[in-house]
Amino acid sequence: MIEAIITLVLATGVLLGSPGPATLSLAAVGATFGVSNGLPYLAGILLGLLFAMAGAVFGVAALFVKWPEARWIIQSLGAAYLLYIAYRIATAPILAKGTAAPHDIPGFRDGVILNLLNPKAYAAFFVLFSQFLLPHANAPISYSVTALVIAAVAALVDSLWLVVGSTIHAVFTNPKTARATRVLFALSIVVATVWALL
């Protein structure tokens, strides 16, 4: 069982922690607004991830098989929302250190919506629950423990992305480098979004 948990932790870390639209947006929020201002967005990302996990386990996969166009609709909505987040990061005003207007900071609701519409999250959960489900005679226990491990790893890796982003916060508050760096981060989110769609 320990071996299965270690394998699940590693697979979750790779699938959910690798650079993608959500993780890059967390880094950008941390870099632009700092960790404390990014915590509501992180909380929303994690709640949205739990909803996506429940959806993956309880039938979104079946919906996508029956209606393939539904996957394209979800992917398109997710991509559009990610582009909106990228736009907000790129156009946020240059702030004095430690200041941020609340309406400029992506918040809890933004995080929830982003992961509800994030095709990468659903794809990761399909893989994790189909290939790395923890063994147990009782299926509900097996799914529950697997979900707890995944949620714990997701919370850790997403928090790390926010913190890593905050380490370059000074670049985002420097008038000489702030705008170009924000645009670069926003473009990386756009590239990751297009990559996820392809």
Q: Residues 52-93: pLDDT tens digits?
A: 898 877 766 566 667 777 767 776 776 777 677 778 777 776
Burial class (CB within 10 angstroms; exposed 0-12, middle 13-18, buried 19+) of 96: exposed
Asked if residues 30 and 154 have their Cβ atoms less than 8 Å apart, the reply is no
Burial class (CB within 10 angstroms; exposed 0-12, middle 13-18, buried 19+) of 138: exposed
Separation of CA 150 from chain center: 13
Asked if residues 157 and 17 have their Cβ atoms less than 8 Å apart, the reply is yes
Q: What's 102's DSSP letter? A: G
Asked if residues 1 and 145 have their Cβ atoms less than 8 Å apart, the reply is no
Q: Please report which confidence band the pLDDT of residue 15 belongs to, taking 50, 70 and 90 as the band edges.
A: confident
Top pLDDT among 7 and 95 is at 7
Q: Per DSSP, which regions of the chain are E strands?
A: none
The pTM score is 0.74
Residue 35 CB contacts under 8 Å (≥ 6 apart), including other chains: 162, 163, 166
Is residue 137 helix, strand or coil? coil
CA distances from 92 to 9, 83, 95, 173, 198 (A): 36, 14, 8, 11, 29
Average pLDDT over residues 159-175: 82
Q: Please report which confidence band the pLDDT of residue 196 belongs to, taking 50, 70 and 90 as the band edges.
A: low
Per residue in 83-126, pLDDT (tens digit) is 777 787 777 766 555 455 556 688 999 999 988 887 778 778 87
Q: Please report which confidence band the pLDDT of residue 152 belongs to, taking 50, 70 and 90 as the band edges.
A: very high
